[in-house]
Structure 1
Amino acid sequence: MSGRIRNQQFAAKVVEADEAAELIRPGDNVGMSGFTGAGYPKEVPEALAKRVAKSHEQGDPMKVGLWTGASTAPELDGALAEVEGIDLRLPYQSDPVSRQKINEGRLDYTDIHLSHVAQRVWQGIYGDLDVAVVEVSGITEDGRLIPSSSVGNNKTWLEQADRVILEVNSWQSEGLEGMHDVYYGTALPPHRKPIPITHPSDRIGEPYLDCPPDKVIAVVETESPDRNASFTPPDATSEQIAGHVLDFFELEVRSGRLPRELLPLQSGVGNVANAVLAGLGEGPFDGLTAYTEVIQDGMLQLIDSGKLQMASATAFSLSPTAVERFNRNTADYRDKIMLRPQEISNHPEVVRRLGCLAMNGIVEADIFGNINSTHLMGSKIQNGIGGSGDFARNAYVSIFVTPSQAKGGDVSSIVPMVSHVDHTEHDVDVIVTEQGLADLRGLSPKKRAELVIERCAHPDYKPALRDYFQRAQQSAFGLHTPHLLDEALSWHHNFVQRGSMR
């Protein structure tokens, strides 16, 4: 037995990745671990991709259904997409090869709220789960699995799969043991009970994943780092957006709508999110907490500064520098970080109860407050909705952030009508660009439009938006939410035809 595999039953099943990949059959649905480049299997997916490529060369095409927690890495998503090895991909991806295949119509993809995946798998919506391939950081003497840097849907994969392949990754910090909270109390209706979380620090489950040894058909030992992108310091635009968000929080505290320590933070992944977190580190708020999906560099810095007392999430998404700091000081974070299954980290009931402050990025917003988070020009998917919908509809305050323009000014992020709707106006409280912040709460559609145009639109596009809205109020079919149906998507049409919305 190696140092990370402390149970003889599991140690007896250690094989090489190629041998493990041979145990996956053509047409299998495969649930793999991984969430935002953390905790995904490192060797079996690439071995499977080689096997798929060989099958194609021999004239016997092989594909599998690929289910994960969220995005993974090129060694998983990219490798299998490159060899045409994926039948149906769900629930989220951010890989450029996968994205291209999806938008070319060569790879089926279903984009799902991340909190819904486990329930749908239990319902059998996608068929049987044949194989689970799950990375863990170790196996205890009594056969319990120590999760690695993400939990995601791993609990569901291990419960639902007929066969299980484990990757035991000794690169992952041994200090992760005890940092997880795996709740086994969920059930399908009518047997569902409340999830007993009233504070982000509440521990309601176990620090380990359970899996019967007789389900495990192979164990692969690895020593490979997660695929984490380098952290880019916030640019001027991100800092301006962050400044507007922080000013809004201060105003909400002064008005008595938020406590001085705010409410649990949820932050999407990206440059703007890290800029907001960096701003919080320099701001007047202390005793902060987070109930979110992903812990990024900015959140780790908030913990280091003493501003953030507790962060509950389902995964890390750290730069190499932050990973090194975390692995070096894991013991210091043990009582400040908790990783849960994504059906709990994103659970609408808990988000509503805790009163999360949700901050998520977007592709575009329209003047009435509808949000497109996923599609370019209405038909090309970028990544997916992820968990933004889980939080947006249930947050205490739902904030969406974006630069006011893109593509060197050829695209306005504020448009007459979004080309794809992910979050309706009913789920959107605040829209922020570097130009300003529009608080849409309590406003009628026309009042929202006036505010979004004046506060959020780029000056190059503001006159055209004003003109559209004024003419719509004169000749629209109705004046509650006035639109010119023959022009509402003309900006997108201009970009597709001429390369610019101008």
Structure 2
Amino acid sequence: MSRISCPVLARRTASAAEAAALVRPGDSVGISGFTGAGFPKAVPVALADRMQAARARGEDFQIGLWSGASTGPAVDGALAGVHGLSKRLPYNSDPDLRRLINAGEVDYVDAHLSHAAQQAWFGFYGDLDVAIIEVAAVLPNGLLVPGTSLGNNKTWLERAHKVVLEVNSWLPRDLEGFHDVYYGAAVPPHRIPIQLTHPMQRIGDPYLRVDPSKVVAVVETHAPDRNSPLDEPDDNSRAMAALLVDFLRHEVAAGRMPPGLLPLQSGVGSTPNAVMEGLLTAEFEGLTSFTEVIQDGLLDLLDAGKLTSVSATSFGLSPAGQQRFLDNVGSYKGRVLLRSQDISNHPELVRRLGVIAINGMIEADIYGNVNSSHVMGSAIMNGVGGSGDFARNAYLNFFVSDSLAKGGAISSIVPMVSHVDHTEHDVHVLITEQGLADLRGLSPTDRADRVIAHCAHPDYRDRLRDYVDRARAARPEARHTPHLLDEALGWHAAYLREGRM
């Protein structure tokens, strides 16, 4: 049975190839999708085929691609494979596209995820020519039932000159009612406060809206989301989870948060997910979550009754986690709410709700600056994502990482980070498997002492201590944040030169 029950839009059904033919070289294209959920499955592949044929004829065919966050191999992978992208924003995790970005072949705009929609409205990115958006159904009145992510879909539908809809019958029809789409945002000076005071409070509509006159094609598909298996928690991630959970116990005992904690945010990745697993056996009850992605760990907490509700913008489940959700989708209604990412990551709401933010990092330095996006200063890994949205505005934030990488050739604690995503002024707590450093209220030199003592691996601890001592002695008149500028990035330079810090 067709999921397209609007008579006007039902007359615009087309094949993926016909829809792809409506995209022109040089267009800016907004696409649905966030962490492998909710991306269009058919039209981007057909578009890649067009690009490949154009290249065979010696013609240039590239587009700029805007998304919510990462998508899947049918989007970033397919378009990167035919060198079909000239620009990409605001986040990517596809390895083929990453190589093109780092080779300078694709311009990459790495942006805070809460900023992308508003910057599109401000006109910073230029015109949006086409939006390609996956939905679960089109209702008789033309309203759209969203799928497994909302991301920037609302904004792309509003800003695009032309809209292509992919109606995916693989998505459970029971997803209707899982969404809260806020239409009260405005550009300055017309903004008003966003009236949300609890993670599960509804402030918008359960449906996406689209101007029917802009819809140029509706494509029917039946294809699953991309799922990435999560690594099983190892001893290091379990150790970090235990440290974090114990720290939360001390915060409750000190009266700085209630026994049920404050709303939790967990970044994407195996280590933050392992922290959620650590909460399964802890004594905390009645937990809530205000986050961007629902990973398996949050689903586990929901199933165990430890977590009462979760507000997010997307799912980011493993294959097993996805199947568990699909098999029991009805049981999650009323406990899971998906919002547009400009709301799920909104600084005003993160600050008001008092979120506890837990995110991974690539490296941190002795003063608490954190790099979460670049390897050796120049090569992008994925991007800043939503970590800055939450960390800067959280009541309490944690950055977690193994203390070593590349079999011990790299220390995750360094004299100076090679790229700064989160400054020392924004970082509260660092955790490695070696220990936890609470940096709140400390001067830079006190932070350095604590980070080295508690987070650095023993193989590098003495060298870090030596660096700090010599930096303090070198310039007696400049001991606030002492550095040896000719050595500060020397560890990274040594790795690039010799393969070891």
Give the TM-score range, shorter chain. Answer: over 0.9
Specify the alignment match of 1:290 in structure 2.
289
Q: CA deviation at 1:57?
A: 1.1
Q: TM-score normalised to the size of structure 2?
A: 0.99
Does 1:384 find its partner at 2:383? yes
Q: Distance in 2 between matches of 1:386 and 1:296?
A: 16
Q: Distance in 2 between matches of 1:89 and 1:394?
A: 26
Does 1:357 find its partner at 2:356? yes
Q: Counterpart of 1:498 in structure 2: which amino acid?
A: E
Q: TM-score normalised to the size of structure 1?
A: 0.99
Specify the alignment match of 2:37 in structure 1.
38
Q: Counterpart of 1:465 in structure 2: which amino acid?
A: L
Q: Distance in 2 between matches of 1:273 and 1:492?
A: 26
Q: Distance in 2 between matches of 1:382 and 1:335?
A: 36
Q: Counterpart of 1:286 in structure 2: which amino acid?
A: E
Specify the alignment match of 2:483 in structure 1.
483
Specify the alignment match of 1:319 in structure 2.
318
Q: Counterpart of 2:101 in structure 1: which amino acid?
A: I
Specify the alignment match of 2:48 in structure 1.
49
Q: CA deviation at 1:104?
A: 0.7
Q: Counterpart of 1:366 in structure 2: which amino acid?
A: D
- SS in structure 2 of the partner of residue 193 of structure 1: coil
Q: Distance in 2 between matches of 1:223 and 1:30?
A: 22
- SS in structure 2 of the partner of residue 460 of structure 1: helix
- SS in structure 2 of the partner of residue 461 of structure 1: helix
Asked whether the 8 Å contact 2:357–2:397 carries over to 1, the reply is yes
Specify the alignment match of 2:72 in structure 1.
73
Q: Distance in 2 between matches of 1:399 and 1:143?
A: 43
Q: CA deviation at 1:232?
A: 2.5
Q: Counterpart of 2:304 in structure 1: which amino acid?
A: S
Specify the alignment match of 1:406 in structure 2.
405
- CA deviation map 1:16-55 (0-9, x unaligned): 1011000001111000000000000001011101101111
- CA deviation map 1:310-336 (0-9, x unaligned): 100000001111111111111110010
- CA deviation map 1:234-280 (0-9, x unaligned): 11111011111001000101111111000000000111111110111
Q: CA deviation at 1:76?
A: 0.4
Q: Counterpart of 1:23 in structure 2: which amino acid?
A: L
Counterparts of 1:227-242 in structure 2, within 5 Å, are 227-242=226-241
Q: Distance in 2 between matches of 1:232 and 1:462?
A: 28
Q: Counterpart of 2:10 in structure 1: which amino acid?
A: A
Specify the alignment match of 2:329 in structure 1.
330
Q: Distance in 1 between matches of 2:132 and 2:120?
A: 16
Specify the alignment match of 1:303 in structure 2.
302
Q: Distance in 2 between matches of 1:138 and 1:172?
A: 9
- CA deviation map 1:79-138 (0-9, x unaligned): 111211111100000000010001111111010000001111011111100000000011
Counterparts of 1:111-150 in structure 2, within 5 Å, are 111-150=110-149
Asked whether the 8 Å contact 2:369–2:423 carries over to 1, the reply is yes
Q: Counterpart of 1:499 in structure 2: which amino acid?
A: G
Specify the alignment match of 1:495 in structure 2.
495
What RMSD in Å do the two structures reach over aligned CA positions?
0.7
Counterparts of 1:367-446 in structure 2, within 5 Å, are 367-446=366-445
Structure 1 stretches of at least 4 aligned residues deviating more than 4 Å after TM superposition: none
Specify the alignment match of 1:156 in structure 2.
155
Q: Distance in 1 between matches of 2:337 and 2:483?
A: 47
Q: Distance in 2 between matches of 1:261 and 1:233?
A: 27
Asked whether the 8 Å contact 2:64–2:86 carries over to 1, the reply is yes
Q: Counterpart of 1:114 in structure 2: which amino acid?
A: L
Specify the alignment match of 1:460 in structure 2.
459
Q: Counterpart of 1:429 in structure 2: which amino acid?
A: H
Specify the alignment match of 2:206 in structure 1.
207
- SS in structure 2 of the partner of residue 38 of structure 1: coil
Counterparts of 1:97-112 in structure 2, within 5 Å, are 97-112=96-111
Q: CA deviation at 1:231?
A: 2.8
- SS in structure 2 of the partner of residue 344 of structure 1: helix
Q: Distance in 2 between matches of 1:75 and 1:42?
A: 6
Q: Counterpart of 1:488 in structure 2: which amino acid?
A: A
Q: Distance in 2 between matches of 1:273 and 1:418?
A: 21
- SS in structure 2 of the partner of residue 384 of structure 1: coil
Q: Counterpart of 2:2 in structure 1: which amino acid?
A: G
- CA deviation map 1:457-486 (0-9, x unaligned): 001000100110111110046100000001
Q: Distance in 1 between matches of 2:214 and 2:307?
A: 40
Q: CA deviation at 1:402?
A: 0.4
Q: Distance in 2 between matches of 1:114 and 1:274?
A: 20
Q: Counterpart of 1:220 in structure 2: which amino acid?
A: V
Q: Distance in 1 between matches of 2:424 and 2:402?
A: 19
Specify the alignment match of 1:85 in structure 2.
84
Q: Percent identity?
A: 59
- SS in structure 2 of the partner of residue 427 of structure 1: coil
Q: Distance in 2 between matches of 1:185 and 1:258?
A: 31
Q: CA deviation at 1:3?
A: 3.1
Structure 2 unmatched runs, 5+: none
Asked whether the 8 Å contact 2:230–2:269 carries over to 1, the reply is no
Farther off after superposition, 6-15 or 202-211: 6-15
Q: Distance in 1 between matches of 2:464 and 2:333?
A: 50
Q: Distance in 1 between matches of 2:284 and 2:80?
A: 45
Q: CA deviation at 1:196?
A: 0.7
- SS in structure 1 of the partner of residue 458 of structure 2: coil
Q: CA deviation at 1:12?
A: 1.1
Q: Distance in 2 between matches of 1:23 and 1:277?
A: 44
- CA deviation map 1:124-172 (0-9, x unaligned): 1111000000000111121110000000000000000000000000111
- SS in structure 1 of the partner of residue 119 of structure 2: helix
Q: Distance in 1 between matches of 2:199 and 2:402?
A: 31
Structure 1 unmatched runs, 5+: none
